[in-house]
Structure 1
Amino acid sequence: MLAVQLAVTCKFASTSKNYLTNQYHRSRFVFLLSPNIIATMARPLQDGLGWKETLFDLVPEWTQEPSIAAIENVCRQQLSIPADELCTVSFHASGLFNKLYILEHARDRLVMRVSLPVYPHHKTRAEVATLRWVDENTRIPVPKVFGFDDSNDNEIGFEWILMELMEGIPAHLRWRSMTMEQKVAFTEQIATFQAELSGCGKPEKIFRGIGSLEDKEVDQRNDAEGLHMATAGLLVSHELFMGDHLGYDIPRGPFRSSHDWLSAVLNIVILHQTAVLETTDDEDEREDAEVILATARKLLCLLPGAFPPVLDEPEITGLYHHDLHLNNILVDEGGSITAVLDWECVSALPLWMTTNIPKFLDEAVREEEPQRDRYAYETPEESAATVEKHRDLVDLDNEGKTDLYWIHRVEYEATQLRKVYQNRLRELWPDWPLEGSHEKVEFFHAISHCDGLWVKKSAKWADRLENGESMRWEDA
């Protein structure tokens, strides 16, 4: 079975067009446009992108729809499909920042991924550089790219990537039917992948500095052969480009240290909340902004205690995939991994970040195995609701038991598999910094949640730290 992926690789058959020369001064986000480029630019850089405020978050939205006919034309050009040969394009699915379309023709089935310009040029280019590095330096299965364009100055009007469909089914749909032995093998494979992404076993450290990968040759090569030199560059990360954040005058990478990176994140929060206080008359918004602002400033003051502000040389880093949930990992019928997807915003981050547990193992602790016969059976109404809920899915039959049994089963298995994951990484990577990274990871969580629903937890955690007390962020 084939599954559509949100990830791309850098093996491509045609180069990307790059009409805009982006230069950066002292890591600031400043576009320097030559007069001839200004004269020929057909569209604003973020044409087609809007932002919508929801109850809990800010989300991107499409202000115009990509044209199916334009997508078909571009695909025909990229693949040299004759006009008299059948070629069909159909909408398949949407992600947060992109739409996926299935291309079918006599020779193959491919995916066209059309992206919103949330971080013009750099988001697409960083994905290309990242997937090329992964393909050439690890054994992680990733899809091939047949073409891409990191500019919106094209017939579609958006940045796009044309790639292969990968074989397999999302592991989420297979998980219940997999044996514990298969799940152990699956988890050990993911640990192996993380070791490879961190450069384990290589004679030299693979990356220094914090940022998304960039490859100077990305516009100059149209072959899929040979090794390419990728380095950490500008950081493509949600907190740096959401909403109006691209307009803030802050450092954007590559960052020399964890301190510099997290300082930039906190300064974005401070700038944003200061702007809210200056513009809103809503008392609730002002109150929220004041709490967030106070928390971010306190965390910024506490930062040097956990992260040295000055280093002799750029910090050692490795690639860290922050979104390894079961929908982003494809497996075959036996549970073996066939692809790892969604490399969007994956970057070279400090090695202490690799001590985070993958998302598919991030569940509550449950050491005692749930005994099936101790759980109630579904009522007819619950059974009907389960069938409706999982109508289009496979291997998600509740087998007559209530959801509570399956929740506890997932928690128990994740608890055991976390031990498998950690033990395997220790075997592969004796210097894996697990023990020395706890406080840094806690600090990162406090920063990541200080500008939203969980700000009071971050504030409480910061207060405890300021008083010299130790506390897990999740317990705040």
Structure 2
Amino acid sequence: MRVSLPVYPRHKTRAEVATLRWVRENTNVPVPKVVSFDDSNDNEIRYEWILMEFMEGTSAHRRWRAMSMEQKIALTKRIATFQVELSGLGKPDSMFRSIGTLDLREVGQTAGVEDSEKVVPGLLVSHEFFMDDRIYYDIPRGPFRSSHDWLTTELNIILLHQTAVLEKTEDEDDKEDAEEVLLVARTLLSLVPKVFPPTLDESETTGLYHHDLHLNNILVNNEGEITAVLDWECVSALPLWMLTQVPKSLDGPIREEEPQRDMYADKTPGESDATAGEHNDPDYLDSDGKNELYYIHEMEYEATQLRKVYKARLRELWPEWPLEESYVKVDFFQAVSQCDGIWVKKVTPMSKRE
């Protein structure tokens, strides 16, 4: 059961239910079935909630070191297949024509998913749109017709937020940071029409993009086969160029040379004692007595090789996959995402309290 804080009342819960329903009906991606939900807080627990079926399996993160490279390759190819299915490729009725998070039409409180009508892109449910006081901004919230409209709004949110910081703060460092962000955001805003020309005809084709597909959100069985893909909150229908990014599970530094185990030190007695009590931690990984640096480098090497597998599989399934033409667009999106520093600004105060 997922219980949701009221960060985006009704919309966040409805969006996740709609997304899970669409994925189950239109793809082979294994996701939990929604048994029931309440998109209001007018209930016994006073929070929005979703009741889903239990999915068998262990997180791929937990099993990764025990999996063979052949199993990891098979898993990666399967994830690539899932991404093609999520794009709606080859199924015109399954493709979306605007940017937004999926929504259920005509859904009442505590309704079952079978009571809904067609699943369509609606308001964009993302952290950039509802974090802090952003939920109160008078801005377009979707669905957006084009990448131009979407990213223009993202940048306007940043401008509004940083302008408010300048007006309210008395801290000189905060003022300096806000001025720097405003300069970058204004520059990016002026470049939007060059990278994403305004669309005057029909809305842009989009597909579902799971932005948080790391190994903890992938469940596998003892053979390393995928049994479930989890955490679909804030997953949205985004432009096809966004779908050219590798999943988060394969992200990381490039390492072409395979690390040799014998070249790395064993754990010291102190390191072994420090991790002795972590065996019951869900994220604990058995290092087999080896220094953790070896496994960091091994993961970087494997991710580098598996990215090639992922891209090759996408090209096989999607010959028109717009990889090369998407580089600039993806880089621009990353610049927009990072120029406001939402998460950095939240982590910094916490680190100062240590």
Equivalence for 1:198:
87
Contact preservation (8 Å) 2:32, 2:228 = yes
Provide the C-alpha distance between the structure 2 equivalents of 1:394 and 1:223, rounded to a whole number of angstroms: 34
Q: Which residue of 2 aligns with 1:31?
A: none
Is residue 214–residue 248 contact of structure 2 (8 Å, CA) maintained in 1? yes
Taking structure 1 as reference, are residues 334 and 367 closer, same or farther at Cα in structure 2, changes over 3 Å only? same
Q: In the alignment, which residue of structure 2 is the partner of 1:213?
A: 102
Equivalences for 1:463-474 in 2 at 5 Å?
none
Is 1:175 matched with 2:81?
no
Structure 1 residue 384 displacement after superposition: 2.0
- 1:242 aligned onto 2:131: yes
Number of aligned residue pairs: give it: 344
> Partners in 2 of 1:138 and 1:228 — Cα distance?
18
Q: Which residue of 1 aligns with 2:157?
A: 268
Tell me which residue corresponds to 1:296: 185
The 1:454/1:244 distance shift into structure 2, 3 A limit, reads closer
1:13-72, Cα deviation, whole Å (9 max, x unpaired):
xxxxxxxxxxxxxxxxxxxxxxxxxxxxxxxxxxxxxxxxxxxxxxxxxxxxxxxxxxxx
Change (3 A) 1:453 1:116: closer
SS of 1:208 mapped into structure 2: coil
2:242 aligns with: 353
1:396: Cα distance to partner?
Answer: 1.9
Letter in 1 for 2:155: L
Pick aligned residue for 2:215 from 310, 316, 326:
326
Residue identity in the other structure for 1:426: R
CA distance in structure 1 between the aligned counterparts of 2:24 and 2:142, rounded to whole angstroms: 24
The change in CA–CA distance for 1:279 and 1:414 in structure 2 (over 3 A counts) is same
Q: Deviations over 1:222-267 (max 9, x none)?
A: 5666995221111001000001111111100000100110111110
User: C-alpha separation between the residues in 2 aligned to 1:179 and 1:266?
Assistant: 44
Q: TM-score, normalised by structure 2?
A: 0.93
Counterpart check, 1:164 vs 2:56: no
Percent identity reads 69
- The 1:306–1:390 alpha-carbon spacing in structure 2 relative to 1, beyond 3 Å, is farther
Query: 2:320: which partner in 1?
Result: 431
- For residue 167 of structure 1, give the secondary structure of its aligned residue in structure 2: coil
Higher RCO structure (Cα 8 Å, ≥6 apart): 2
Q: Contact 2:315/2:321 (CA < 8 Å) preserved in 1? A: yes
Deviation per CA, 1:306-333: give whole Å up to 9, x if none: 0012331100000000000011111111
Letter in 2 for 1:316: T
Structure whose residues are more often strand by fraction: 1
The alignment partner of 2:334 has SS state of: helix
- How many angstroms apart in 2 are the aligned matches of 1:341 and 1:287? 40
The amino acid across from 2:197 in the alignment is P
Distance in 1 (alpha carbons) for counterparts of 2:281 and 2:343: 34
> Conserved in 2, the CA contact under 8 Å of 1:331 and 1:338?
yes
Q: Find the counterpart in structure 2 of residue 398 from structure 1.
A: 287
Gaps of 5+ in 2: 345-354
Matched letter for residue 154 of structure 2: V
- Corresponding residue for residue 350 of structure 2: none
Aligned-residue Cα RMSD (Å) equals 2.0
The answer to which of 258-267 and 200-209 deviates more is 200-209
Unaligned runs of 5+ in 1: 1-111, 456-476
Letter in 1 for 2:2: R
Alpha-carbon contact 1:316-1:350 (below 8 Å) kept? yes
The CA deviation at 1:454 is: 9.6
Paired position in structure 2 for 1:153: 42
Q: What secondary structure sits across from 1:155 in the alignment?
A: coil
Report the structure number with the largest CA radius of gyration.
Answer: 1
Q: What amino acid sits opposite 1:281 in the alignment? A: E
Match of 1:129 among 6, 15, 18: 18
**Residue 9 (structure 2) pairs with residue 120 (structure 1):** yes
Is the alpha carbon distance of 1:116 and 1:453 closer, same or farther for their aligned partners in structure 2, counting shifts above 3 Å?
closer
- Report the secondary structure of 1:236's partner residue: coil
**Aligned match of 2:197:** 308
Q: Verify: 1:440 aligned to 2:329, yes or no.
A: yes
In the alignment, the residues of structure 2 paired with residue 380 and residue 209 of structure 1 have an alpha-carbon distance, to the nearest angstrom, of 57
Compared with structure 1, are the counterparts of its residues 209 and 451 closer, same or farther at alpha carbon in structure 2 (3 Å cutoff)?
same
